[in-house]
């Protein structure tokens, strides 16, 4: 497959250059607005209204480039300012077609709140353009553990236990609560971006919404998680990132992935 490179630039400029209805799936993990207060990219707006207006513009462009059978996944934020994302969802769902609201269960809590429960999930709003979308439920089945399979096999209402076992071994359909642990500071996957998403989470979103060879767009590529996940799953990708420092992180991650894949191919040959 031809090697793809990230687009270094502003999201609105880069999206304007893409043709309409050209991408199958969009993974958008935008700045949250004043959550990561030390990151210049998260404090670009003076008011929440300015931030919401900016989001309206880039989401509008994303929906223009999304195919009719495609899905657009938009990450929200976590913690105290979650209500910002609720306003955004309400604004977006008045203009675009709602498809789903996924809960990303990060498995552990984040930033202790003294006045409420410790936040543990992030929301992912899913939008679509048409009624008949590509969605592969089988690609994101979740395995039952061996003990659960044994328990189910004790149910004597089933006569053909081999067929029953084969059915159980395929795993169950995933719910819209995706439990994938967030990346700890010491995680091997971590590569220097403050809001890097776990590969396993992004792989699930790509696997359910695309086939091999389809194009995935990430308008806020960050550390390149979507690019790495897409290449590992043999999808094509387009990724936009404004920060030159993150562009070099993305290039390093992709170079490592491509070296590993080449070595793997050589071993198999």
Ligand X SMILES: C[S@@+](CC[C@H](N)C(=O)[O-])C[C@H]1O[C@@H](n2cnc3c(N)ncnc32)[C@H](O)[C@@H]1O
Q: Which residues bind ligand X (CB under 6 A)?
A: 10-11, 29-31, 41, 193, 195-197, 220, 222-223, 225, 240-243, 246
Residue 105 beta carbon to ligand X: minimum distance, rounded to whole angstroms: 17
| Residue 150 vs residues 146, 161, 162, 169: alpha-carbon distances, Å | 6, 11, 12, 11
Closest distance between ligand X and the C-beta of residue 147, in Å? 34
Q: Which is nearer to ligand X, 92 or 249 (CB)?
A: 249
**Block residue for tokens 């209204």:** 49
Residue placing its CB nearer to ligand X in the complex, 191 or 215: 191
Is residue 83 within 8 Å of 37, Cβ to Cβ? no
Q: Rounded CA gap, 161 and 141, in Å? A: 21
Nearest distance in Å: CB 48, ligand X = 16
> With respect to ligand X, which residue has the nearer C-beta, 10 or 150?
10
Identify which of residues 81 and 164 has a Cβ nearer to ligand X in the complex. 81
The answer to whether the beta carbons of residues 142 and 208 sit under 8 Å apart is no
Q: Which residue has the tokens 């934020």?
A: 77
User: How far apart are CB 76 and ligand X at their closest, in Å?
Assistant: 11
Residues in the chain: 269
- CB of 41 or CB of 152, closer to ligand X: 41
Contacts of 14 (CB under 8 A, 6+ apart): 7, 219, 240
Q: Which is nearer to ligand X, 12 or 149 (CB)?
A: 12
CA count, 13 A, side-chain hemisphere, 7: 18
Helical axes 146-153 vs 161-169, angle rounded to 10°: 150
CA 23/CA 215 separation, integer angstroms:
5
Least CB distance to ligand X at residue 18 (A): 14
66 or 247: CB nearest ligand X? 247
Smallest separation (angstroms) from ligand X to the CB of 29: 4
Q: Least distance from C-beta 15 to ligand X, angstroms? A: 9
Residue 9 or 171 having the CB closest to ligand X: 9
Q: In whole angstroms, how close is the CB of 185 to ligand X at the nearest point? A: 15
Contact in structure between 126 and 76 (CB atoms under 8 Å) = no
Residues of the chain by 3-state class (helix, strand, coil), percent to 5? 40, 20, 40
Which residue number places its CB atom closest to ligand X?
222
Backbone torsions φ then ψ of 210, nearest 5 degrees: -140, 165
Distance CA 22, CA 18 (A): 8
In the three-class reduction of DSSP (H, G, I as helix; E, B as strand; rest coil), residue 65 is classed as: helix
């Amino acid at each position: 497959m031809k090697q793809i490179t990230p687009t270094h630039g502003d999201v609105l400029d880069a999206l304007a250059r893409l043709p309409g209805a050209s991408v199958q799936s969009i993974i958008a993990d935008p700045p949250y607005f004043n959550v990561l207060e030390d990151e210049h990219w998260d404090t670009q707006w003076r008011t929440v209204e300015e931030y919401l207006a900016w989001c309206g513009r880039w989401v509008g462009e994303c929906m223009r480039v999304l195919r009719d059978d495609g899905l657009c996944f938009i990450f929200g934020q976590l913690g105290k300012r979650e209500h910002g994302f609720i306003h955004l969802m309400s604004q977006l769902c008045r203009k675009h077609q709602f498809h789903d609201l996924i809960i990303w269960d990060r498995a552990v809590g984040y930033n202790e709140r003294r006045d409420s429960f410790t936040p543990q999930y992030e929301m992912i709003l899913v939008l679509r353009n048409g009624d008949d979308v590509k969605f592969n439920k089988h690609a994101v089945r979740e395995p039952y553990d061996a003990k659960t399979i044994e328990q189910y096999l004790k149910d004597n209402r089933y006569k053909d236990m081999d067929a029953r076992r084969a059915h159980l071994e395929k795993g169950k359909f995933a719910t819209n609560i995706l439990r994938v642990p967030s990346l700890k500071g010491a995680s091997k996957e971590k590569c220097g971006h403050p809001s890097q998403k776990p590969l396993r989470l992004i792989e699930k979103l790509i696997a359910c919404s695309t086939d091999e060879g389809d194009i995935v767009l990430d308008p806020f590529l960050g550390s390149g998680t979507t690019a790495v996940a897409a290449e590992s799953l043999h999808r094509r990708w387009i990724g936009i990132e404004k920060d030159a420092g993150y562009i070099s992180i993305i290039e390093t991650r992709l170079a490592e992935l491509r070296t590993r894949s080449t070595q793997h191919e050589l071993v198999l040959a």
